[in-house]
Chains A and B, each alone.
Chain A
Amino acid sequence: MKELSLHILDIAMNSVKAGASLIEITLTEAGGVLTVTVRDDGAGMTPEFLATVTDPFTTTRTTRKVGLGIPLLKLAAEQTGGTFAIESAPGAGTTVTTAFHTGHMDNPPLGDIAGSVMSLIQGSPDIDVVYTHSAPAGEASLDTRVLREALGGIPLESPDVLLWIQQTIEEEERSFQP
């Protein structure tokens, strides 16, 4: 994947498949390290299954034998000298935490994170998504629970709402990114 935001979208899709009702995507930048956390309240995994998940020959999917999403993210983080961790329990949801060394030459650009968050919401408008990106120079955030309240029954996947979501995150990201 060329962008970190594509990994994030892909990992959040696992949360969708796990039946999550809330997905929290948190990016924190400090001291040359970008920590990315994707947390959900979906079905979770047993310890035995979790132990095999970073191995690319594990997947519960039927159309193709090899699950790629998690191994690809783990590889991307470790290539920057960073770390990967996954915590999960049946009924308790799953948290994937990765750290990237942003100064490393193999560090992927964040890319179109606004597009990823918008795509996630468009594909699963019944799930709540909380996006937070904090850096020393500023913060970008979005919480679909707040949007829902303002929209009073107008669906999140309405074209004008999706455009607003994309543009709002883009604007906030630009306010503190070089």
Chain B
Amino acid sequence: MKSIEDLKKIREETLKNINLRKEDNDHAVRVVVGMATCGIAAGARPVLAACLEEVRVRNLADVAVTQTGCIGVCRLEPIVEVFTPGQEKVTYVKMTPEKARRVIAEHVVNRQVVSEYTIGAAE
């Protein structure tokens, strides 16, 4: 059974590792998931969960996963935007958890845009 005690353990572990982590925000990548009504209805919640899981399992300390409201193209939801330093924003459309995992592996980690999922390929 899970308990509040687990959180105290998480706290200790986090404090132990905090010195090992360099706060290098210039290299930070941002993954933004559209979570307005149209996004949620189209399946944004499991897409967000997949992004969070990949970031956690791969221990990607310099990747921030955030949420935003309506991106404006409801028929292409779920939408995920990836911001990498020195690169233009890439907008991925009609996302699924599987596609999101691939975007994390190929784009966020290896900096290779997954062209077939981008808004350019869908239009």
List residues of chain A with CB under 8 Å of any chain B CB: 1, 6, 9-10, 13, 17, 61, 63-64, 67-69, 72, 112, 115-116, 118-119, 122-123, 146-147, 150-152, 154, 158-164, 167-168, 171
Measured CA separation A102–B10 after assembly (Å): 38
Whether A72 lies near B55 (C-beta < 8 A) is: no
SS class of chain A's interface: helix, strand, loop or mixed? Answer: helix
Interface residue from A10, A64, A152, A161 paired with B72 (Cβ < 8 Å): A64
The reply to whether A72 and B72 form a contact with Cβ atoms under 8 Å apart is no
Residue with the greatest number of chain A CB neighbours at <10 A, chosen from B45, B49, B56, B72: B45
A84 CB to nearest chain B CB (Å): 16
Q: Is the CB of B2 within 8 A of A168?
A: yes
Closest 6 pairs between A and B when the two form their complex, measured CB to CB: A159-B56, A123-B67, A150-B7, A168-B2, A69-B37, A63-B72
A150:B37 contact, CB within 8 angstroms:
no
Given contact pairs A150-B11, A164-B2, A171-B1, A68 touches B38 in the complex (Cβ within 8 A): yes
User: How long is the Cα–Cα vector from A112 to B65 in the complex, in angstroms?
Assistant: 20
Asked if A6 and B4 make an inter-chain contact with CB atoms under 8 angstroms apart, the answer reads no
Cβ of A164 and Cβ of B6 under 8 Å apart?
A: yes
Judge if B113 is at the interface, Cβ distance under 8 Å. no
Residues of A within 8 A of B46 (CB): 112, 115
> Does B70 sit at the interface, judged by CB under 8 A?
yes
Q: Is the CB of A64 within 8 A of B7?
A: no
Question: Is the pair A160, B70 in contact by a Cβ cutoff of 8 Å?
Answer: no
Judge whether B79 is part of the interface by a CB distance below 8 angstroms. no
A160 touches B10 (CB 8 A): yes
Closest to B12 in A: A154
Q: A6-B45, A9-B40, A61-B70 known; A164 and B7 CB under 8 Å?
A: yes
Whole-angstrom distance between the alpha carbons of A50 and B41 in the complex? 24
Cα(A164)–Cα(B10), bound, Å: 9
Other A-B contacts than A64-B74, A122-B65, A150-B11, 14 sampled, CB-CB below 8 A, are: A10-B41, A13-B40, A63-B69, A64-B38, A64-B70, A112-B46, A115-B49, A119-B48, A147-B4, A160-B10, A160-B13, A160-B56, A164-B6, A164-B10
Selected contact of A154 from candidates B11, B35, B41, CB within 8 Å: B11
Q: Is B36 an interface residue (CB 8 A)?
A: yes
Q: Are A151 and B49 in contact, with the CB atoms below 8 A?
A: no
Question: A169 vs B105: C-alpha distance in the bound complex, in angstroms?
Answer: 29
Q: Does B19 sit within 8 A of A, measured CB to CB?
A: no
Complex Cα distance, B39 from A69, in Å, reads: 11
A6/B41 in contact, CB under 8 A: yes
23 CB contacts below 8 A, A to B, read A6-B40, A10-B41, A13-B69, A61-B70, A63-B72, A67-B37, A72-B41, A112-B45, A115-B45, A115-B46, A116-B45, A119-B35, A119-B49, A123-B35, A147-B7, A151-B7, A154-B11, A158-B10, A159-B55, A161-B7, A162-B52, A163-B56, A164-B6
